[in-house]
């Protein structure tokens, strides 16, 4: 082995990484599904039958009726559940891509409160291999998943493309930035605890670029909507330098006041009592900005 490949190999060994550790650290940890779905028999003959959430594990079952669920086919033949939280007369629709170790059952009450407190529709989905979805979780599949959900939301649910705000949390920044870079009709993008790229979470060396996934830092330059970056300054899983780098890379006309959250880590923004009100207020401020600048 010589040339570039040999050099890469040496660097790779020196830096102590293997492809397996890179993949394991970067990719997906689907939890055991936290919910089950039951087809609504009255809709069995529709193009997209509806499903009801039958039960949650460790979630408030009383909320179950808050979402309509559909199974949406992706371009590569997987089926992913799409959870729709409608808010009457909403101006905006948030399409939410969650983090790597959760699913729509575990996220359910957050979606309900985003919808109710911000007066928006929330369209959430599970990646291939997560929750009630079929298939395997891979980087490429998450792109097909979000594309299928976007198309379903605009064509079947009837939400205007320019009412849609893509919201990516953590690993969800990957599919969200991917779509935002090529779908220029969307209204907004929120990147919450996101990453510059997979490999940059692990090392500042560029030598392992061949193993990289979710190159958000390159794609975010092609975004064309006002974009809100949110990151906790105590995040030890994805350092705040990732949020700051994404902010810097945004085109100037897409920059809105970022939200650097004091004393918060990777998974606790908007959840604990004291920072929740501030989090919601920042989101509301962003929606108002979008409303005023359309
Ligand atoms: C993905 O989930 C695992 C397991 O919870 C966690 O250790 C890891 O830090 C997560 N990775 C990212 C990028 O959030
Ligand atoms: C983030 O990275 C900077 C620079 O390497 C470091 O000083 C800081 O402690 C890191 N933050 C956390 C919470 O680990």
**Domain boundaries along the sequence of the chain:** 3-292
Active site residue 235: yes
In 3-state terms, what secondary structure has residue 39?
A: strand
CB 165 within 8 A of CB 190: yes
100 backbone dihedrals φ, ψ, rounded to 5°: -90, -10
Q: Report the pLDDT value the prediction gives residue 143, as an integer from 0 to 100.
A: 95
Task: Report the residue among 196, 200, 241, 242 best suited for mutation to probe ligand 2: largest number of ligand atoms under 8 A from its CB.
Answer: 241
> What residues have CB less than 8 Å from 208, skipping those under 6 apart?
8, 11, 12, 15, 17, 22, 199, 202
Q: What sign does the CA torsion over 164, 170, 172, 174 have?
A: positive
Q: Average pLDDT by consecutive 10-residue portion of the chain (294 residues)?
A: 46 52 63 93 92 81 88 97 97 97 94 96 97 92 97 97 97 97 98 88 67 88 98 94 97 98 92 86 98 90
Residue 130, both tokens: 């997560």
40 part of the active site: no
Stated length of the chain: 294
| Partners of residue 68 on adjacent β-strands | 84
| 239 CB near ligand 2 (under 6 Å) | yes
Residue 70 has a pLDDT of: 97
Annotated catalytic residue, options 170, 176, 193, 227: 170
Q: What three-state secondary structure class fits 25?
A: helix
Compute the radius of gyration of the chain from its Cα atoms: 19
For this structure, is 266 an active site residue? yes
Predicted local confidence at residue 275, as pLDDT: 85
| Measured distance CA(240)–CA(245) in Å, rounded | 9
CATH fold of 3-292 reads Rossmann fold (3.40.50)
């Amino acid at each position: 082995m010589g040339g570039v490949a040999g050099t890469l190999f040496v660097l790779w060994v020196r830096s102590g990484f293997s492809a397996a550790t890179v993949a394991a650290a970067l990719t997906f940890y689907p939890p055991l599904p936290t919910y089950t779905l039951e087809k609504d028999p009255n809709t069995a003959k529709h193009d997209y039958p509806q499903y009801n959430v039958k039960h949650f594990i460790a979630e408030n079952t009383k909320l179950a009726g808050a979402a309509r669920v559909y199974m949406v086919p992706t371009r590569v033949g997987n089926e992913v559940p799409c959870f729709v939280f409608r808010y009457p007369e909403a101006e905006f629709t948030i399409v939410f891509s969650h983090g790597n170790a959760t699913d729509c059952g575990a996220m359910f009450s957050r979606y309900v409160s985003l919808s109710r407190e911000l007066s928006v529709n929330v369209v959430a989905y599970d990646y291939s291999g997560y929750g009630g979805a079929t298939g395997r979780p891979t980087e490429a599949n998450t792109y097909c998943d979000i594309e299928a959900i976007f198309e379903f939301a605009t064509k079947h649910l009837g939400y205007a493309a320019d009412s849609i705000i893509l919201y990516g949390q953590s690993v969800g920044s990957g599919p969200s930035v991917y779509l935002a870079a090529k779908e220029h009709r969307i209204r907004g993008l929120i990147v919450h605890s996101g990453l510059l790229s997979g490999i940059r979470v692990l090392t500042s060396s560029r030598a392992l670029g061949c193993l990289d996934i979710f190159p958000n830092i390159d794609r975010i330059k092609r975004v064309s909507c006002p974009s809100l970056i949110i990151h906790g300054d105590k995040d030890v899983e994805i350092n705040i330098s990732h949020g700051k780098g994404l902010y810097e890379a945004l085109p100037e006309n897409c920059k809105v006041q970022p939200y650097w959250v004091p004393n918060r880590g990777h998974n606790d923004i908007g959840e604990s009592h004291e920072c929740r009100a501030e989090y919601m207020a920042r989101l509301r401020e962003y929606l108002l900005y979008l409303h005023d600048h359309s």
